[in-house]
Amino acid sequence: MKIAAPVATAALLMLTAAWPAQAGETACWIDKGAVVVPAVVAGVPGDYILDTGSPHSQLHETRAQGAGIAETALSADVRLAGLAFSRRPVAVVDLDARTLGFPTAIAGVIGADLLDGLVLDLRMAPCRVGLYRPREAPSFGRGRSWRLARVDGLPAAHATATDGVRAATGDFVIATGLGQAVALDAGFVAARPARGYGRLRALSFAEDLQEHPGIAVTTVGPQTALGAPALLAYRVRIDLARDRLRLAPAQEKGPPDRSGRP
């Protein structure tokens, strides 16, 4: 699947002006495998990683200092996808290690704390994010549905990852800001043979099998997680109000679901 090249915030704002979005929607893009969106946090506009696997929203220390913000913890207003959030907790941290190699200058991270209680829709190509209050979410249409588990408060789905010899099975945190399909703990990765490093044999998720998904060891998120590349084949609804995960083929254009359920 072809992924669009990163888009600068100014150009993206011109795009959305030409293509009016419904309230609660915005264009996004994929940067190093992670979902990135335009947002304004504490008055700082920029490009933010949208990460359901990050427990806390963050503002990059460099951007905060440039805006004259000296605090390390804020109660900040946030604007994202046509929605406004008042006085939300935001940590000011050094994100250089996390954003190393990103062609986009990342201003911060929109975490699960801001998204909790809302409905997040995600489509990768073209990249589009919808963020809705539960009663305002549009019909998802046809698709399969699963219960979302919670791991340390973060949304998670059952999956199995295997290198062909060993398997990791359980609830994997869904981390839209993770640039690899799978994150596993360092012990699992270190025990793998050098040949084929960086890839697993298979990932079983949502009753589908993905062969040779990318693998990562991360110190900035959950040790066991499914990243945005694992979701490329789907339209995704992460309902953080009802703890439901809904998936449909990315290219499906069947008749709408008229059940009245989001």
Q: Pick the more confident residue, 82 or 254.
A: 82
User: Of 136, 171, 204, at which residue does a domain stop?
Assistant: 136
- Could you read off the pLDDT of 51-101 as tens digits, one per residue? 999 999 999 999 999 999 999 999 999 999 999 999 999 999 999 999 999
Measured CA distances, 138 to 75, 133, 135 (Å): 30, 10, 9
Q: Average model confidence (pLDDT) for the chain?
A: 85
Q: What global pTM score does this model have?
A: 0.84
The verdict on residue 83 lying in a domain is yes
Q: How confident is the model at residue 10 (pLDDT cuts 50, 70, 90)?
A: very low
Q: Which of 117, 128, 181 is nearest to 155 (CA)?
A: 117
| Amino acid letter, 258 | R
Q: Which of 107, 98, 112 is nearest to 59 (CA)?
A: 107
94 forms beta bridges with none
- Could you read off the pLDDT of 131-188 as tens digits, one per residue? 999 999 999 988 999 999 999 999 999 999 998 888 899 999 999 999 999 998 777 7
CATH label of the domain that carries residue 113 = 2.40.70.10
Domain extent for 158: 144-249
Burial 241-258 (b: 16+ CB within 10 A, else e): eeebbbbbeeeeeeeeee
CA dihedral 160, 112, 148, 25 (to 10 degrees): -110
Residues 13 and 129 placed together within one structural domain of the fold: yes
Give the pLDDT mean for 213-235. Answer: 87
Residues 110 and 16 placed together within one structural domain of the fold: yes
